[in-house]
Structure 1
Amino acid sequence: MRKLRKPVYFACGYNTISLGTGRSEFHPKKPRPGLEEYIKEAGQGVISQISDAKYIDEGIISNFIAARFNRQAHLAAMIPMIDSALVHKPCSRVEGACASGGLALANAVRSVLAETSDVVLVLGVEVQNTVKAIYGADYLAAAGHYKAERKNGHAYFFPGKFSDRAGAYYEKFGAESTREAMAHWYAQSIENARTCEKAQEYENKASDLLSLGRKSPNPKGFVDHLNLFDCSKVSDGASAIICASEEGLERLGIAKDKAVQVMGVGQSEDDLTKAPEDLTRLTTTQNAVEKAYEMANVSREQIGVVELHDCFSITGLLALEAAGFAPHGKGGEIVVNGDTKRDGRIPVNTTGGLVGYGHPTGATGIRQMIDVCNQVTNQAGNSQINIGNERPYGLTINMGGNDRTVVSMIVKKAD
């Protein structure tokens, strides 16, 4: 069983607001922050929590597709603008579609293990509210195999892909029960987002969330098997965190009780040029999570909080099954019966997940880690749940494309 050769920690996370429709600050015709503003805010939010930026050895920035949405590439060279102490520090940019943030975290862990860095600033960013949704959908289709799939794909490419997954799940396990579970997923997501001031759906005042989630899909206006409430929104935002060795924590003046230790890392890729064999399973997600369980030497029964990748409500159900919290075809049951709620057996996406918090794609994996870190170290504020001694571990699942790149991590409060 492969283990981490030395302790590695995450600490000092910072999230910007997830900005987009639903936030009172958002207006499509008014100026809004760009990449530079989000990168600077998130980076400085982390630096304000450490002793001195000069102790940062390396920077890693995750972003999916700023070259299309913002006509800006070469994002690694934006890290030095955060603080003058970062000028001439080695920096790199990573991309793995919506799993870009998870890849950045994994690369930071490897840098610390390789002893090329003791302190890595990990930052993710995406600004997507720059074009109309239909054009953005085409840009995001680059997370699939564009050459083979785009021409015959739905105009809303990824909603179309996960609509197909939902349709296959309806056929195999029942449309009525699955739609009901997806409605409960939506309601749970918004309820959790209302506890987090930076969530995109924080200000959502709808009184009957289940009725919204139960709305029938409209194939003429959208896709066959999903309604708009099944979908994560277009979001702008950034997230940043420190990855450090034990020596790095000491140098930064970070107390152990404010940090989490990385116990397991699972990364898995599948062939982007091939279609999934079974639309009702997330096999790459399952493989990544199993790797994380094995490295951490923990079971799913020891997981106290989960941040999983619910780009669509059906994805949430599929990910619960892939992570082993429900048998195949039973993911919806544990959502409907309340197991995944804040006070349930396995609380999931406590600030709303992608459906409720928002999905600035390059930042999502880092935001997930920050939220898990805050939970297991009791720093989650109004979003805090009870993490018992029998379930002290947090699990993250960050998925890119149609289950083609996945990074999963398991952490616990540092000793």
Structure 2
Amino acid sequence: MTQDLYVLGGAQTDFARNWAAEGLGLIDMLREVLPATFADAQVDPTEVEVVHVGNLAGELFSGQAQLGGLVVAAEPALVGRPSTRHEAACASGSTAIVAAGADISSGRYDVALVVGLELMRNVSAKQAADNLGTAAWAGREALDAEYAWPALFADVAEEYDRRYGLDHAVLGRFAQIAFDNGARNPLAQTRAWSFPDGSFAEDDTVNPLVEGRLRKTDCGRITDGAAAIVIASAEYAAEWAATRGLELDQLPRITGFGHRTDTLLLADKLSASRDSEHLFPQLHGAIQDAYGRAGLTGIEDIDVVEMHDCFSITGLVTLEHLGLVGGGKGGSVVHDGTIERTGSLPVNPGGGLLSAGHPVGATGVRMVLDAARQVTGTAGVLQVDGAKRVLTVNVGGSFTTAVSFVVETTA
């Protein structure tokens, strides 16, 4: 992307819903989220020139591929538009935004629809875990684990402990902040959940171990959901703003991005970074790329972070790659209030993946949508006072894919 991209609006579904239990599927999800997206963006679907879709495993969960065509089936006004699906594990939605941004920056199109979606609660927990396990190296890792991803991120926790030392109280507090934030979010998966005493501690009764040292509240749950945004070129956005009595600088825009990919096997990544300053150098690099393309110095220029926390250890590691603190120092900003919604750098005011929910293909899109609302003061009960610049960090696999965006306004 060589120019700013303007986020005109978007929508998400309720991440607490079980669509299959309602007798509904992916097409129904699209038929709900697309009209809401176009209404929020105040864009007629006929004005969309290109469509990009983020999804990990439609074939495995629903028996459905060709999701680009499914979007057109849900909104017939999009017939004839080019529509492509993108897969990068949990970063699928963000890679769809990167591709849409490249289309707009090339000058080929002015208006893009980006949709992320996943139906995941229509199968057993074990089948869901096996489906999601395809984003690891099949047949090479987590071979003896009942649940591949808790096992792999437990390995991350073990490596973190080996390098820096790890007190579970840090993970517990990170998770508690996430669930407290999610309780305020009217669309969060866990907004109605209750947590008895000991839920964030090393309490084997209410917070049992799942894999390794990771416990129940350290682990995100599968869920269903969709999120979509309409993004536009500066030329289109200027006309759109003028017809509504707005200035262009009042609109949320994506000013920087980073997108990097590492090798697939977790053990190989950890081995390669043994002498590095960072546990996952490509994650740090993607974030630095986003800062640089946005013309920023670093994390000191950011007001809010929408950050990947499918597990509490994922959140802690990602926190340490922002440039805020060094490796092994994340516990200090978890415990001192820095990342709480009233702190100096609020993280995941809507609850993040742990609490808001993680319908895999939708997450990266939801992050940018939430960021756009924060910087325009339209985030409702989730609003962080004075937020004008938000960093998103979306990770796929065992930090294999990393995508970061800077979303801001100057008004």
Same fold (TM over 0.5): yes
* CA deviation map 1:304-343 (0-9, x unaligned): 0000110100111100111112111011210111100011
Distance (whole Å) between structure 1 residues aligned to residue 208 and residue 327 of structure 2? 31
Partner of 1:124: helix, strand, or coil?
Answer: strand
Aligned residues: 398
Question: Structure 1: which 5+ residue stretches go unaligned?
Answer: 21-25
Distance (whole Å) between structure 2 residues aligned to residue 257 and residue 212 of structure 1? 44
1:59 aligns with 2:56: no
Q: 1:414 to 1:62 in 2, by over 3 A?
A: farther
Map 1:14-163 → 2, pairs under 5 A = 14-19=11-16, 26=18, 30-49=21-40, 50-150=42-142, 152-163=143-154
One-letter amino acid of the structure 2 residue matched with residue 276 of structure 1: L
Question: Structure 2: which 5+ residue stretches go unaligned?
Answer: none
Distance (whole Å) between structure 1 residues aligned to residue 252 and residue 299 of structure 2? 18
Q: Shift in Å at residue 275 of structure 1?
A: 4.2
Deviates more, 1:405-414 or 1:272-281: 272-281
Map 1:206-285 → 2, pairs under 5 A = 206=195, 208=197, 211-216=198-203, 222-250=210-238, 252=240, 255=246, 256=248, 259-273=251-265, 274-277=268-271, 278=273, 281-285=279-283
2:409 matched to which residue of 1?
Answer: 413
**Which of 194, 201, 204 is equivalent to 2:183?**
194
1:370 matched to which residue of 2?
Answer: 369
Q: Shift in Å at residue 47 of structure 1?
A: 1.0
Q: Shift in Å at residue 351 of structure 1?
A: 0.3
Map 1:285-300 → 2, pairs under 5 A = 285-298=283-296, 299-300=298-299
Deviates more, 1:397-406 or 1:217-226: 217-226
* 1:76 and 1:91 in contact (8 A); partners too: yes
* CA deviation map 1:357-401 (0-9, x unaligned): 00000000000111111111101000111125xxx3210001000
One-letter amino acid of the structure 2 residue matched with residue 214 of structure 1: A
1:354 aligns with 2:353: yes
Deviates more, 1:233-242 or 1:195-204: 195-204
Deviates more, 1:267-276 or 1:331-340: 267-276
Q: Shift in Å at residue 258 of structure 1?
A: 5.9
- The two structures have a TM-score, normalised by structure 1, of 0.90
* 1:11 and 1:258 in contact (8 A); partners too: no
2:194 matched to which residue of 1?
Answer: 205
Quick one: percent identity of the two aligned structures? 31
Distance (whole Å) between structure 2 residues aligned to residue 140 and residue 204 of structure 1? 24
Partner of 2:69: helix, strand, or coil?
Answer: helix
Deviates more, 1:42-51 or 1:357-366: 42-51
Q: Shift in Å at residue 85 of structure 1?
A: 1.8
Q: 1:213 to 1:259 in 2, by over 3 A?
A: same
Q: Shift in Å at residue 84 of structure 1?
A: 2.6
Q: 1:264 to 1:281 in 2, by over 3 A?
A: same
- The two structures have a TM-score, normalised by structure 2, of 0.91
One-letter amino acid of the structure 2 residue matched with residue 160 of structure 1: A
Q: 1:393 to 1:221 in 2, by over 3 A?
A: closer
One-letter amino acid of the structure 2 residue matched with residue 16 of structure 1: T
Q: Shift in Å at residue 221 of structure 1?
A: 6.5
Distance (whole Å) between structure 2 residues aligned to residue 38 and residue 153 of structure 1? 35
* 2:93 and 2:364 in contact (8 A); partners too: yes
* 1:261 and 1:414 in contact (8 A); partners too: no
Distance (whole Å) between structure 1 residues aligned to residue 14 and residue 7 of structure 2? 21
**Which of 132, 150, 157 is equivalent to 1:166?**
157
Q: 1:32 to 1:381 in 2, by over 3 A?
A: farther
Aligned alpha-carbon RMSD (Å): 2.2
Partner of 2:210: helix, strand, or coil?
Answer: coil
One-letter amino acid of the structure 2 residue matched with residue 317 of structure 1: L
Distance (whole Å) between structure 2 residues aligned to residue 271 and residue 217 of structure 1? 35
Q: Shift in Å at residue 269 of structure 1?
A: 0.3
Q: Shift in Å at residue 257 of structure 1?
A: 6.2
* CA deviation map 1:47-105 (0-9, x unaligned): 11324221110111110001001111000001113333211111111110000011011
Partner of 1:339: helix, strand, or coil?
Answer: coil
